[in-house]
Amino acid sequence: MNNKLLLGVLTLLMLVMTSCGKEGMLSESMEETFYVRNDGSDMPVFVRGNGNSGKILLLLHGGPGDTSVSYMTSAYCQQLHDHYAVAYWDQRQQGNSHGHFDKEENSLSQIVEDAYHVVQSLKYRYGDEIEIYLWGHSWGGAVGTAYLQTDGYQEDIAGFIEVAGGFDFPRINTALRDKILAIAPTEISDGNNVDFWNEVLAFINDIEFDNITTEEALKLNSYAGRIEREMLPDDVYEIDSDRGYSEGAASVSNPIAVTTNALSIFVQEVLIDELLSLSLTDNLDKITIPTLLIWGEYDFKVPSDLGQLAFDRISSEDKTLHIYEHAGHTTMRYDADRFVDDVRAFVQ
C-alpha cells in the first residue's frame, strides 16, 4: 500500500471514528461530565437527560457564587431530562470550578467568553447539528444577555430562556425601592410585621440609589429575599408537581469547592462591584433569536418590571413573556409543571 493510499485510509478511519464517537455520546439517559479549560479556570459541565432529542439547554446559573448542580435535583429539571439534555455548567470561581487564574480579572466579559467556549465544546462533542438553548436564571440572565449582545455569538444559539434575569442592576434596585414604598405603608397599616417594614423603610430612605455601595446593595438584596417570603401566601409558596416528580436526587457537588468559591466571590467583591453599575438594557435590541421570558409576580430580587422591559426591547419576532402569579425569584420552582410546559412549547 503506497503512502497516499495509506494516508487516505487513515483519514477516512479518523472521520468515521470521530463521527461514531459523537453519535455514541448522545443517548436517551445521558450522565456525562467533562471540563472546559479557559484562561486558567477548569469548569465542569454535567450533561444529563435525553440527548437523543438533539437539543441541549445550557444552564447559566444564578449568583454570582452559586452552582448549577443545585438546579439538577429539582422537579423541573428532572422533568426536562425526559425531553432534552441539560448542560449544567459551573462558572469560573463558582460552584465546582477550580484553577489558578488571576481572580482580580474575573468579570462578566470573561465569563461570557467562557460560555462561548462551553458552547463550542458542546458542539464539538455532540456535533454541529445539536441545537443549544441558553437558559439563564437571575445572574445567569445577565450572562446570557451579555452573551447574545456579543457580535457573532448568537449564530450558534437556537433560543434564549431567561428566568428573572438580572441584566440591569440599577433598574433592579430602583424597581425594588418603588415596590417597597408601595407595599410597606399598607402592611404597616394592617399591622403586619410592623417592626420589619419600618426597618426596611428606614434602610431604603438612607440609600442614595444613584451612588449605592456594595454593602448597601447586598443588604438590599437580602431584604428582597425576606420580603418575598413575607409576601408570598403560604398555600402557594410551592405548587407540588402532579406528574410524580419530587426533589432530592443525588448531588454531584464537591461541598468544599462550592463553599470555598461562594465565599471567595463575596470576600473579593470584584464581580459584585461590577454589578452595581451593570446595565445591558440599551443593547437588548441586539437579541434577535427566539426568546422566552419568565418572571414571578412576587419576585423582589429581580422585579417583573425587568421582564416587561426585556420583552419591550428585545428585537426578536418570536418572543413570549410569562408572569407567574404565585411565584417568587426562583420562578420555575414554584410551579414545575407549568414551567416545563412553557419550555417545551417554546423549544418545540
In this structure, what are the phi and psi dihedrals at residue 319, rounded to the nearest 5 degrees? -145, 145
- Inter-residue contact 112 to 84 (CB < 8 Å): no
- In this structure, the answer to whether residues 260 and 247 fall within a common structural domain is yes
pLDDT tens per residue, range 90-105? 999 898 998 877 777 7
Q: In sequence order, which residues have a C-beta less than 8 Å from that of residue 124 and are 6 or more positions away? A: none
pLDDT of residue 237: 56
Whether 14 is covered by a domain: the verdict is: no
Shared domain check, 31 and 128: yes
What is the structure's pLDDT at 248?
Answer: 64
pLDDT for 6: 45
The pLDDT value recorded for residue 266 is: 59
- Count of other CB atoms within 10 angstroms of residue 57: 26
Q: Which residues of 168-192 are buried (b: 16+ CB within 10 A; e: fewer)?
A: bbbbbbbbbbebbeebbeebbeeee
What does the alpha-carbon distance between residue 48 and residue 84 come to, in Å, rounded to a whole number? 9
Number of C-beta neighbours around residue 286 at 10 A: 16
Which domain does 205 fall in, by range? 172-231
User: In angstroms, what CA-CA distances link 318 with 164, 259, 321?
Assistant: 19, 39, 11
**309 Rama class: left (phi>0) / alpha (psi -120 to 50) / beta:** alpha
Q: What pLDDT shows up at residue 18?
A: 42
Examine residue 12 and state whether it is found in any structural domain, yes or no. Answer: no
How many other C-beta atoms lie within 10 A of the C-beta of residue 305?
A: 18
Q: What per-residue confidence (pLDDT) applies to 236?
A: 57
Rounded to the nearest angstrom, the gap between the alpha carbon of residue 76 and the centroid of all alpha carbons in its chain is 14
This prediction's pTM = 0.89
Residues in the chain with pLDDT values less than 70:
1-24, 234-239, 248-251, 256, 260-269
Same domain, 45 and 194: no
Burial class (CB in 10 A: 0-12, 13-18, 19+), 292: buried
**End position of a domain, from candidates 204, 231, 258:** 231
Q: Which three cell numbers stand for residue 160?
A: 434564549
Tell whether 276 and 216 lie within a shared domain: no
| Number of separate domains in the chain | 2
How many angstroms separate the first and last alpha carbons of the chain? 51
Residue by residue, DSSP assigns 248-298 as -PPP---HHHHHHHHHHHHHH-HHHHHHTT-B-GGGGGG--S-EEEEEETT
Backbone angles phi, psi at 133, to 5 degrees: -115, 125
Are 247 and 185 in the same domain? no
- The answer to whether residue 11 is domain-embedded is no
Q: Which residues, 6+ apart, have CB-to-CB distance to 106 below 8 Å?
A: 92, 93, 268, 270, 271
β-pairing verdict for 291-296 and 30-38: unpaired
CA–CA gap between residue 263 and residue 260 (Å, rounded): 5
Report the C-alpha gap between 289 and 319 in whole angstroms: 8
Looking at the structure, tell me whether residues 203 and 245 fall in a common domain. no
Q: Residue 157: inside a domain, yes or no?
A: yes
